Chains A and B, each alone.
Chain A
Amino acid sequence: MSTSVTLIAGLAVVTAAIKAAGPIVLGGRELPPQFLGVISLLAPALLAALVVTATLTDGKQIAVGDQTAGVIAGGLVAWRTGSIIGCVVIAAAVTAGLRAM
């Protein structure tokens, strides 16, 4: 139980500090346009990294599996229809289908 308490408290404090750092240090300031140009591209860069690390690796090395095919199928649904829910449902369904075979 004490392990859980330490883990939860530690994660909560660390997460809050990380989220607070930028707004505390840089809040309310005008930033140069070049900086804003970079900021506007952070989301696609970070999201793409999250997608590939979650689908094309096992955390240690490059690895593909049933889940990879499922996520690609979901990505196609998101791209063609714009539906987020469709995307996640298809991704799970395709992955489950491949595992059932």
Chain B
Amino acid sequence: MTATVETASPRARFRKGVRLGVPFAVAGFLVAVTFGIVARDAGLSAVAAIVMSLIVFAGSAQFAAIAILGAGGGVAAAIGAGALMNSRFLMMGVALAPSLPGRWPWRAAQGQTVVDASWALAARGDGTFDRWLLFGSTSVQYLTWSIGTILGALGGGALGDTDKLGLDAIYPAFFIALLVSEARSGRARGAAAIGAVVALALVPVAPAGIPVLAASVGALLGLSRRARAEAEEAGS
């Protein structure tokens, strides 16, 4: 393992990750309960729904795959939709890569801990990531994602019509809370605005998942603004 200069111990950073991850884990729990119910409605057995959450652990991909299966689509289409939905993790993994030490199998294993909230929380804002904070935040979210799916898959019927409870608003609300915490700088808000417009424009013409992946172009704002700021510095 390469030595990196860190102010806090791995253990302290892991604990901080757990602490910061708890609100997302609670919200994720509600999303997972919804997933368990929706998966049963789509024809999956309770065991299948639970196993999927335990080994896939990617909410948006799971929802996308189940939606296609429930609508009568094939397994290949469902897996493809899930893959496209997860394609943003490719960009997140690229971003995270320089912050992961070790040989490639070990880096690949550490990369599995990327989920949206943890990745955003672990970003230090300068392009580097606190991997122990990432691990801590993901561990607590994995726990509640698993428990939530179990409860939803086995006991969801008791809740009745989940649309009436507004549970479908929980998943996007989860992301809006993350976005609010991320969009602190003008540059970040600009990237968010571009990403939103690009995604919306592509929804009618591109397969599910692609609009979100394409929204990555919003991040190119980092290039132009940075270049401009550097030019101004050089000019003054």
- B contacts with A: majority SS: helix
From B48, B55, B97, residue with most partner A Cβ within 10 Å = B97
By the criterion CB–CB under 8 Å, are A48 and B112 in contact? no
Q: Which residues of chain B (187-231) have a CB below 8 Å from chain A?
A: 187-189, 191-196, 198-200, 203-204, 208, 211-212, 214-223, 225-227
Chain B positions within 8 Å of A, measured between CB atoms, are 2, 23-24, 26-27, 30, 44-45, 48, 51-52, 55-58, 60-62, 65, 67, 69, 75-76, 78-79, 82-83, 86-98, 100-102, 104, 107-108, 110-112, 114, 116, 119-120, 123, 125-128, 163-183, 187-189, 191-196, 198-200, 203-204, 208, 211-212, 214-223, 225-227
* Known A45-B217, A54-B175; further 15 A-B contacts with Cβ < 8 A: A1-B45, A12-B55, A15-B61, A22-B91, A36-B126, A41-B191, A41-B222, A42-B191, A49-B195, A50-B172, A54-B171, A59-B203, A78-B180, A88-B174, A96-B164
B75 shortest CB reach to chain A, Å: 5
A-B pairs under 8 A by CB, number: 334
> What are 13 A-B pairs at a CB distance below 8 A?
A4-B48, A5-B48, A19-B112, A28-B98, A38-B219, A38-B220, A40-B123, A43-B188, A44-B195, A49-B218, A55-B172, A59-B203, A97-B166
How many residues of chain A have a CB within 8 Å of chain B? 80
Which of A8, A46, A79, A99 is within 8 Å of B215, CB to CB? A46
Chain A positions within 8 Å of B, measured between CB atoms, are 1, 3-8, 10-12, 14-16, 18-31, 33-57, 59-62, 66-67, 70-71, 74-75, 78-79, 82-85, 87-88, 90-97, 99-100
By the criterion CB–CB under 8 Å, are A84 and B212 in contact? no
By the criterion CB–CB under 8 Å, are B168 and A67 in contact? yes
A89 shortest CB reach to chain B, Å: 8
By the criterion CB–CB under 8 Å, are B94 and A39 in contact? yes
By the criterion CB–CB under 8 Å, are B83 and A95 in contact? no
When distances are taken between beta carbons in the complex, the residues of chain B under 8 Å from A51 are: 172, 175-176, 179, 196
Query: Which 9 residue pairs across A and B have the least CB separation, nearest first?
Result: A36-B127, A22-B93, A95-B166, A49-B215, A45-B218, A45-B195, A91-B173, A96-B166, A37-B222
By the criterion CB–CB under 8 Å, are A49 and B199 in contact? yes
By the criterion CB–CB under 8 Å, are B200 and A57 in contact? yes
By the criterion CB–CB under 8 Å, are B170 and A92 in contact? yes
Given A8-B55, A44-B189, also A53-B212 (CB < 8 A): yes
Q: Specify the chain B residue showing the minimal Cβ separation from A91.
A: B173
Given A30-B98, A85-B26, also A45-B167 (CB < 8 A): no
From B24, B30, B101, B168, residue with most partner A Cβ within 10 Å = B168
